[in-house]
Chains A and B, each alone.
Chain A
Amino acid sequence: EVQLLESGGGLVQPGGSLRLSCAASGFTFYSNGMGWVRQAPGKGLEWVSSIIPSGGHADYADSVKGRFTVSRDNSKNTLYLQMNSLRAEDTAVYYCAKREALYDSSAYYYFFDFWGQGSLVTVSS
């Protein structure tokens, strides 16, 4: 059974830092891309970042580029999100998600097929 367990959320002051972790189990972690998606209070889902299986490349939303860094430790089956220079607008529940790929008709289709329960990050003074 696939399980994704986020940790590390909490209350932080504006300008502060926080690191989220996502412990994965039930699948071959090093074979899958992973991602972070957040949901601000009363808002919809917003993609934050994605990282390839090796960890050698990552993509970011413009809203977090230069402040957030995604990484992974395949020996520990763990995904991380280092969040620096936090702002009030970063307040959200952060979900980690497993990315799956399907090859069909000479194209790859990517989607998030399993998600964690989320970790709340509150940025406030």
Chain B
Amino acid sequence: DIQMTQSPSSLSASVGDRVTITCRASQTISNYLNWYQHKPGKAPNLLIFAASTLQSGVPSRFSGSGSGTDFTLTISSLHPEDFATYYCQQSYIFPLTFGGGTTVVIK
């Protein structure tokens, strides 16, 4: 199985900060990488697919990059509604696997 490792597991940041989350795959997955945002009690929300394609309706402050084994999710300027947990997920091969999550909390 492909292991997805996210770092950090949590971070504290202020509104307006630039935030970067990394995700590393245990083997190459080309650009078969998706990012989701999840808030407690809510349905997860797709942010980015194919490593760098922004899902329709997602604000442009979110961006993704990377290929192979190393990927990043960047929030250019943190908004209050962005405090949540973020997950990467590989869609290269079954079983599909998620990273452990990165929780963004208010500093």
Q: Which residue numbers of A lie inside 8 Å of B, CB to CB?
A: 4, 35, 37, 44-47, 50, 59-62, 95, 97, 102, 104, 107, 109-118
B43 partner residues in chain A, CB cutoff 8 A:
4, 95, 114-118
B95 and A62: CB pair below 8 A? yes
A109–B94 contact, CB under 8 A? no
Q: How many B residues touch the partner, as a band?
A: 20 to 34
Q: Is the CB of B91 within 8 A of A109?
A: yes
Choose among B42, B49, B98 the residue that contacts A44 (Cβ–Cβ < 8 A): B98
* Residues of A with C-beta under 8 A to B87: 44-45
Tell me which residues across on chain B come within 8 A of A4, comparing CB atoms. 43
- Asked whether A104 and B50 contact (CB < 8 A) given A45-B87, A61-B95, the answer is yes
Bound Cα distance from A47 to B4, whole angstroms: 13
Between B42, B45, B94, the greatest number of chain A beta carbons within 10 A of the residue's beta carbon is seen for B94
Q: Helix, strand, loop or mixed for chain B's interface?
A: loop
Taken together as a complex, chains A and B put the C-alpha atoms of A60 and B95 apart, in Å, by 7
Q: How far is the CA of A111 from the CA of B85 in the complex (A)?
A: 18
In the complex, how many angstroms separate the beta carbon of A44 from the nearest chain B beta carbon? 4
Contacts A44-B100, A44-B101, A118-B43 given; does A109 touch B50 at CB 8 Å: yes
Chain B residues closer than 8 Å to A115, beta-carbon distance: 43-45
B32, B42, B97, B100: which contacts A109 (Cβ < 8 A)?
B32
- Residue of A whose beta carbon sits closest to that of B48: A111
